Amino acid sequence: MIFKQHLFFMLYSACGLVIKEAATKNKVKGSQGQVPITQNVTVVEGGTANMTCRVDYNDNTSLQWSNPAQQTLFFGDKKALRDNRIELVHASWKELTISIHEVTLSDEGQYTCSLFTMPVKTSKAYLTVLGVPEKPEITGFTKPALEGDHVTLTCTTSGSKPAADIRWFRNDKEIPGATEVNATGRSFTVRSTLEFQVDRSEDGVAYTCSVDHVALLAAPQQVTEVLEVHYAPRVEILNSLIFPQEGQYFKLECDSIGNPLPEPVLWTKDGGELPDMERMIVEGRELIITSLNKTDNGTYRCEASNSLGTDIAEYKLFVYDPNALAQHGPDHALIGGVVAVVVFITLCFIIVLGRYLARHKGTYLTNEAKGAEDAPDADTAIINAEGNHAHAEEKKEYFI
Ligand SMILES: *[C@@H]1O[C@H](CO)[C@@H](O)[C@H](O)[C@H]1NC(C)=O
Ligand SMILES: *[C@@H]1O[C@H](CO)[C@@H](O)[C@H](O)[C@H]1NC(C)=O
Ligand SMILES: *[C@@H]1O[C@H](CO)[C@@H](O)[C@H](O)[C@H]1NC(C)=O
Ligand SMILES: *[C@@H]1O[C@H](CO)[C@@H](O)[C@H](O)[C@H]1NC(C)=O
Ligand SMILES: *[C@@H]1O[C@H](CO)[C@@H](O)[C@H](O)[C@H]1NC(C)=O
Ligand SMILES: *[C@@H]1O[C@H](CO)[C@@H](O)[C@H](O)[C@H]1NC(C)=O
């Protein structure tokens, strides 16, 4: 009986050992590669995502892909979910690859590849879907804006994921805007505003809103608006001659700016109509007097108007008598006189300076001469000849 029991125990132990060994073997096999391997995938919405699951070592165990909602998409090569965007790319014992077409933001999430060993081994792959920002829109443009108006330009783009970047450019130079991001569903709405007061220098300035995003591979999305500013006229009169003389051709130009452009301009003389339409011709913004007459002097006025206002400029014409201008000669004579006096004084100064220098030079040379009996050059000879010898001797003594 005891022997029998013993035998049974021995058998039991041997069996257990075998079972144990088998289990250990299995474990080793598993750790050697029976693990599915996946990779995260990023795709732009509307594109195709390929989800690949691989097993390096596989003893013919089935692979399965399931979506973030834990629904089985493919079990081996068998399609499990009715979604015609999802297709099988490749199925083998070592790989299961499926593709999801026309990906939407709602496809994003964690997908699972399962290997049906005991226990089941899984690997997660995160599918990231990038939302493409819609073409931006600029609002807040009043066309036209009036000078002094406060303008708020708003650029909005929706549908981006992650949130897009908005940048502003004023005539191609970047300027800062105030950006605000709101989540709308799975994507983002990004808005950036610019606030400023318009003046006439803003007329014709181009404002560009540029949207940068990872999903925009080629170039940023841009929209440009050109500001139109209306402003009141400003006029200025330009004259063709400084001293208009009788008989001369004379032209006054009314330089007017304003938006809308104030045209035509109105010319008047001394508060009334132009007196002589024969000699006075108005051409566009110019007033031309073909031949000046003394009777033409007076105040000429140019008036320009647009919807925002009126501006006036005046010019006082004095027609000089060519003979009287000759009397203006004294002006020139005076200038001439002043120049003459200045020249005279300068000359006097030069002469005085010259004489002073010459005297010094003479003294120096005389001193030199005391060493050498003979004059070293003609100059010295002349000086020596001029000054009497007694004087030279005197100097010699004085210096010794
Ligand atoms: C997905 O797989 C298909 C079929 O193999 C291939 O044509 C396509 O280029 C792949 N797409 C990506 C994004 O890898
Ligand atoms: C897997 O299955 C194939 C046939 O489908 C067979 O030839 C192969 O021996 C099997 N491999 C293993 C490890 O069971
Ligand atoms: C995959 O994506 C998830 C979620 O974004 C992240 O936690 C994980 O580290 C990523 N894995 C790899 C290998 O990049
Ligand atoms: C974001 O949300 C706030 C509060 O709901 C709203 O006032 C604002 O206009 C929104 N901004 C955008 C860019 O949608
Ligand atoms: C100026 O006008 C007066 C009157 O119209 C005329 O008598 C005179 O000859 C004119 N002078 C010149 C220089 O044209
Ligand atoms: C011409 O100008 C002079 C000087 O300003 C003035 O005395 C004279 O009255 C003017 N003549 C006319 C016709 O306007």
Which conformational region is residue 298 in: left (phi greater than 0), alpha (psi within -120 to 50 degrees), or beta?
left
Question: Tokens 């933001």 sit at which residue?
Answer: 105
- 59 Cα–ligand 2 center, Å: 7
The answer to whether the CB of 99 is under 6 A from ligand 1 is: yes
The answer to whether the CB of 42 is under 6 A from ligand 1 is: no
Burial of 279 (0-12, 13-18, 19+ CB in 10 A): middle
Query: Do 252 and 204 meet the contact criterion of CB atoms below 8 Å apart?
Result: no
- 172 Cα–ligand 3 center, Å: 39
User: In a structure prediction context, what are the per-residue pLDDT tens digits for the chain, which is 400 residues long?
Assistant: 444 444 344 434 443 333 344 333 444 444 445 889 999 999 999 999 999 999 988 888 899 999 999 999 999 999 999 999 999 999 998 999 999 999 999 999 999 999 998 889 999 999 999 999 999 999 998 889 999 999 999 999 999 999 999 999 999 999 999 999 999 999 999 999 999 999 999 999 999 999 999 999 878 999 999 999 999 999 999 999 999 999 999 999 999 999 999 988 999 999 888 887 788 999 989 999 999 998 998 999 999 999 999 999 999 999 998 886 565 545 555 555 565 666 657 765 666 676 766 666 554 444 444 444 444 454 444 444 444 444 444 444 444 3
Q: For residue 101, which ligand has an atom nearest its CA?
A: 1
293, 297, 317, best to mutate for ligand 5 pocket (most atoms within 8 Å of CB): 293
41, 48, 217, best to mutate for ligand 1 pocket (most atoms within 8 Å of CB): 48
- 93 Cα–ligand 2 center, Å: 9
pLDDT the model gives residue 2? 43
Q: For residue 293, which ligand has an atom nearest its CA?
A: 5
How many residues belong to the chain?
Answer: 400
Query: Do 187 and 136 meet the contact criterion of CB atoms below 8 Å apart?
Result: no
- Helix 329-369 to helix 389-399 angle (10° resolution) is 70
State the sign of the Cα–Cα–Cα–Cα dihedral 334, 340, 344, 346: positive
Going by alpha carbons, the residue nearest to atom 5 of ligand 3 is: 126
- With CA atoms as reference, report the closest residue to 43 among 127, 112, 162: 127
The answer to whether the CB of 191 is under 6 A from ligand 4 is: yes
pLDDT the model gives residue 141? 87
Nearest ligand 6 atom, CA 298:
14
Report d(CA 181, CA 210) in Å as an integer: 16
Q: For residue 61, which ligand has an atom nearest its CA?
A: 2
- With CA atoms as reference, report the closest residue to 96 among 127, 123, 68: 123
Q: Phi and psi of 217, rounded to 5°?
A: -70, -45
- 300 Cα–ligand 6 center, Å: 13
- 43 Cα–ligand 1 center, Å: 12
Query: Do 44 and 215 meet the contact criterion of CB atoms below 8 Å apart?
Result: yes
Report d(CA 261, CA 233) in Å as an integer: 8
297, 316, 320, best to mutate for ligand 6 pocket (most atoms within 8 Å of CB): 297
pLDDT the model gives residue 177? 96
Q: For residue 246, which ligand has an atom nearest its CA?
A: 5
Report d(CA 243, CA 274) in Å as an integer: 21
Q: How many other C-beta atoms are found inside a 10 Å radius of the C-beta of residue 290?
A: 14
Please give the model's pTM, rounded to 2 decimal places: 0.64
Query: Do 384 and 375 meet the contact criterion of CB atoms below 8 Å apart?
Result: yes
pLDDT the model gives residue 337? 58
Q: What is the CA radius of gyration of the chain?
A: 52
| The residue type at 108 | E
Nearest ligand 3 atom, CA 128:
5
- 127 Cα–ligand 1 center, Å: 15
Which conformational region is residue 309 in: left (phi greater than 0), alpha (psi within -120 to 50 degrees), or beta?
left
